[in-house]
Amino acid sequence: MNQTIETILKRRSTRSFVKRPLDREELKMIVDCALHAPSGMGRQTWKFTIVENREKIQRLARAAGEALGREGYDMYDPEVLIIPSNEKDSPFGMEDNACAMENIYLAAESLGIGCVWINQLRTICDEPRIRGILNEFHIPENHVVYGLAALGYRDDTVIGPKERTGRTEYIR
């Protein structure tokens, strides 16, 4: 089994991070992997905003928590938040960004960096307080945010493989 397949099979989400900055070269490599995901008709209409400031991440998390009525919501308090966004009227945006998210997950896993998919912004990213913060981050007004990637070195106890229950069928 090659290392790519090994990484894919052992990837698990991380929901607890230590307070230690990520290696900046490794972070750039992860972002480069996001940029290399496939996109519908090769249009690459996405933008990746990388927030490396815990306080700014927590401001966004608090605003999201308030919009959703989830007290103390902290997006698992990560070291870095990658916010992929895409044009609201792109017919491919949601899938393009999901592929980029998977590349982020796998690149991080291969570097020993934990990652978790944050799904809370998609319905609320145009609420005024959230949009105000996205504006500060220079996320274009015509962009929507689907999933976000929270990243950091793992503070998890080692978790085993998750049971895979998806169905398969071969047609010959």
Interacting residues toward a second copy by CB under 8 A:
1-5, 7-9, 11, 13, 29, 31-38, 40, 42, 44, 46-53, 56, 92, 94-96, 98-99, 101-103, 105-107, 109-111, 117, 119, 137-138, 146-147, 162, 164-172
Taking the complex as a whole, the smallest distance from the CB of residue 47 to a second copy amounts, in Å, to 4
Instruction: Report the 10 Å Cβ neighbour count for 70.
Output: 12
Pick the closer one to a second copy by CB: 17 or 103.
103
Collapsed DSSP state (helix, strand, coil) of residue 154:
strand
Query: What is the four-CA torsion angle of 31, 37, 41, 46, rounded to 10 degrees?
Result: -30
Taking the complex as a whole, the smallest distance from the CB of residue 34 to a second copy amounts, in Å, to 8
Question: Which structure tokens are listed for 68?
Answer: 């959703």
Contact predicate 100/48, CB 8 Å: yes
Pick the closer one to a second copy by CB: 128 or 166.
166
Pick the closer one to a second copy by CB: 71 or 169.
169
Taking the complex as a whole, the smallest distance from the CB of residue 122 to a second copy amounts, in Å, to 9
Pick the closer one to a second copy by CB: 73 or 105.
105
Pick the closer one to a second copy by CB: 29 or 68.
29
Taking the complex as a whole, the smallest distance from the CB of residue 128 to a second copy amounts, in Å, to 20
Instruction: Of 86, 108, 109, give the one whose Cα is nearest residue 96.
Output: 86
Query: What are the residues whose beta carbons fall under 8 Å from the beta carbon of 93, sequence distance 6 or more?
Result: 45, 46, 86, 87, 144, 146
Taking the complex as a whole, the smallest distance from the CB of residue 81 to a second copy amounts, in Å, to 9
Helix (H), strand (E) at residue 152: strand 148-152
